[in-house]
Structure 1
Amino acid sequence: MTSFDALLLLSFGGPEGPDDVVPFLENVTRGRNIPRERLEEVGEHYYLFGGVSPINALCRELISAIEADFAAHGVGLPVYWGNRNWAPYLADTVRQMKADGITRAAAFVTSAYSGYSTNDQYLEDIARARDEVPDAPEIVKLPVYSDRPGFLDPFADAARDALGRLPEGARLVFTAHSVPLSQPNRELYVAELEEAARAVAHQAAPGKPWDLVYQSRSGPPSQPWLEPQIDDHLEKLHGEGVRAVAAVPIGFVSDHMEVKYDLDVEAADRAAELGIAFARAATPGADPRFAALPRELLAEAAGERG
């Protein structure tokens, strides 16, 4: 990996205690004029889990898995970690990288897709953080990876596992974070989601029907977002006679709050109300195949084989 002297894991961030919840949500929604009452309402999702988002712990697990993969393949690069919305903040990480003598790092983002909030905004985060640090290291974002086996294969195994926990005839329903229809590059985001879902469905349940739906919508009701939302789709499936659903959160790389609450609590409760058996597939998390992706992308970016 001669072109780089470090790997940067770049993620969203999340609160690690009850006192962090509202300040974290203020960071996430800065500039959007969201009333504090609404932030406190959303904060209740976190308080159900002790005010702690799983995402930072999941990032630590992923870093350990990446470091193990690096060690097994003779890659000597240090791994740094920075977040968009909570400590360790990206700018602080860039300062530490500079102090450590890093000159050119590759960034692996915990988002597999193109689109504004899933790709372009991270590029803006990198540029903003570097602007805060005089003579900051160069940081090159690694490509999106929604079509890579290291991302898709763990999902296929998890989808098979979820289907195996349900009665015969269960429907595969893939979910991803909804975004406003006006968001830049929304069409590319949807196209990549559809292709990833198709690939996983072909591996997990070839020939069987599947759906792509959305979750975690926010913003005013007057603003159109990607639809259908999963709760509405569960009602539609119930009306069609579907009695079991395996939800596959194809839009996410780890079991963070929008998976743990929006699917494991809200969607599961709605399925129970409708009499639909419901199982949720795991995300890649720290699966060794997923943890190998940074090394593989680094090798390609450096023009090497690995």
Structure 2
Amino acid sequence: MAYDAFLLVSFGGPEGQDDVLPFLENVTRGRGIPRERLEAVAGHYRHFGGVSPINAQNRALIEELRQVLDLPIYWGNRNWHPMLEGAVRQMRDDGVEHALAFVTSPFGSNSSCRQYQDDIARARDAVGPDAPRIDKIRHFHDHPLYVESHAAAVRAALESLPSRLSARLVFTAHSIPTAMNDASGPGGVGRYRAQLLETAGLVAAAAAPELEWDLVWQSRSGPPQVPWLEPDVNDHLASLSAAGLKEVVVSPIGFISDHLEVIWDLDNEARDTAAKLGLAFARAATPGTDPRFVTMIRQLVDERVLAHSNVRHALGTVPTWDFCPADCCVSPKRV
């Protein structure tokens, strides 16, 4: 299939103190989040000068991609500048007709896939009938190079512990409401958790097959009466300590870069929890601009461009597809 541009689509983040609340208002628009909750989350960003690392990380990734892709590269965010609509408008002005979009989330759910697709559709509608067609690259949770980039980081983290043979691997991802998980995948089959379990198993097998591992969750938000995926990473660390465990490697397999949620939830909160429990704690890095991860993106582009070759880089059994069905990852009813 012929494509004449590559579009990086990401979440976005503030780049100064004045950006923080407007950014959070964009993220939560239409959800009726109380002002005091926004102020509490704003404190996480203000702790780092009001700057989320995610935009700088995307810029660094784009520079690496320029070395391996033959397509012009554009970048648009869902929630903060550079905004997706502006990127689509620039592509239109540059004469782009058919772009391939890489979304910076490997997994399928309403928040990690469908909302991005909806935002792309809204941006195209805003630009008008001559907006370029934009196809999203498939989920890549079990791509060999995604798995290996995380596995290499786990191995490096294990080396920093006093005795890796007694360590437990704790894989984390962003929690979502259980109703959203249950609605993920065509017809609602709980694909989000299934993909993450598969990734965790593949990374553990590649990094340290002799060690036990768990999949837990972080970054929960929303009213307490709404069930979300559990256990929370901090609660799980307490359970491990109570069971006599002394060392943990925490690997954020649900994320591709060390953005603010990774830094705050793991490098601050989870690390503090581990210290209070007397657990030796090592946090594995995310892929970022690891050459394996950059090569993975190029391979995903090649897969789509050379669709006739039937080459598909995948280690797991949870299926992925190039074009999502209409009933895939629908939004569950809010409680």
TM range (shorter): over 0.9
Question: How far, CA to CA, are the matches of 1:47 and 1:267 in structure 2?
Answer: 19
Question: How far, CA to CA, are the matches of 1:98 and 1:303 in structure 2?
Answer: 24
Kindly provide the CA deviation profile for residues 8-36 of structure 1, in whole angstroms up to 9, marking residues without a partner as x: 00000000001100110000000111111
Of 101-110 and 111-120, deviating more is: 111-120
User: Contact (CA 8 Å) 1:145, 1:151: kept in 2 or not?
Assistant: yes
Query: In the alignment, is residue 8 of structure 1 matched against residue 11 of structure 2?
Result: no
Query: In the alignment, is residue 147 of structure 1 matched against residue 142 of structure 2?
Result: yes
Equivalent residue letter for 1:222: Q
Name the TM-score, length of structure 1 as normaliser. Answer: 0.96
Q: Offset at 1:150? A: 2.0
Residue 80 of structure 2 aligns with which residue? 86
Q: How does 1:60-71 map to 2 (within 5 A)?
A: 60-70=59-69
Residue 317 of structure 2 aligns with which residue? none
Equivalent residue letter for 2:118: E
Question: Which residue among 156, 164, 170 is the counterpart of 1:161?
Answer: 156
Kindly provide the CA deviation profile for residues 218-264 of structure 1, in whole angstroms up to 9, marking residues without a partner as x: 00000000000000000100000011110000000000001010000
Question: How far, CA to CA, are the matches of 1:294 and 1:200 in structure 2?
Answer: 18
Q: How does 1:199-214 map to 2 (within 5 A)?
A: 199-214=202-217
Kindly provide the CA deviation profile for residues 40-80 of structure 1, in whole angstroms up to 9, marking residues without a partner as x: 1111101111110000000001101111122xxxx2x1010
Residue 125 of structure 2 aligns with which residue? 131
Query: In the alignment, is residue 173 of structure 1 matched against residue 170 of structure 2?
Result: yes
User: What number of residue pairs does the alignment pair up?
Assistant: 300
Equivalent residue letter for 2:197: E
Gaps of 5+ in 1: none
Residue 248 of structure 1 aligns with which residue? 251
Question: How far, CA to CA, are the matches of 1:206 and 1:56 in structure 2?
Answer: 35
- Over aligned residues, Cα RMSD in angstroms? 1.2
Residue 228 of structure 2 aligns with which residue? 225
Q: Offset at 1:167? A: 2.3
Question: How far, CA to CA, are the matches of 2:216 and 2:162 in structure 1?
Answer: 22
User: Contact (CA 8 Å) 1:65, 1:291: kept in 2 or not?
Assistant: yes
Query: In the alignment, is residue 37 of structure 1 matched against residue 36 of structure 2?
Result: yes
Q: Offset at 1:277? A: 1.0
User: Percent sequence identity over matched residues?
Assistant: 57
Question: How far, CA to CA, are the matches of 2:213 and 2:237 in structure 1?
Answer: 13
Q: Offset at 1:207? A: 2.7
Question: How far, CA to CA, are the matches of 1:52 and 1:215 in structure 2?
Answer: 21
Residue 235 of structure 1 aligns with which residue? 238
Equivalent residue letter for 1:219: G
Equivalent residue letter for 2:172: T
User: Contact (CA 8 Å) 2:258, 2:288: kept in 1 or not?
Assistant: yes
Equivalent residue letter for 1:43: A
Residue 328 of structure 2 aligns with which residue? none
Residue 270 of structure 2 aligns with which residue? 267
Equivalent residue letter for 1:110: T
Equivalent residue letter for 2:161: L
User: Contact (CA 8 Å) 1:69, 1:288: kept in 2 or not?
Assistant: no
Q: Offset at 1:293? A: 2.3
Residue 296 of structure 1 aligns with which residue? 299
Secondary structure at the residue paired with 1:261?
helix
Question: How far, CA to CA, are the matches of 2:234 and 2:302 in structure 1?
Answer: 41
Equivalent residue letter for 1:238: S
Equivalent residue letter for 1:247: V
Q: Offset at 1:303? A: 2.2
Q: How does 1:22-61 map to 2 (within 5 A)?
A: 22-61=21-60
Query: In the alignment, is residue 182 of structure 1 matched against residue 176 of structure 2?
Result: no
* Runs of 4+ residues deviating >6 angstroms: none
Question: How far, CA to CA, are the matches of 1:209 and 1:79 in structure 2?
Answer: 41
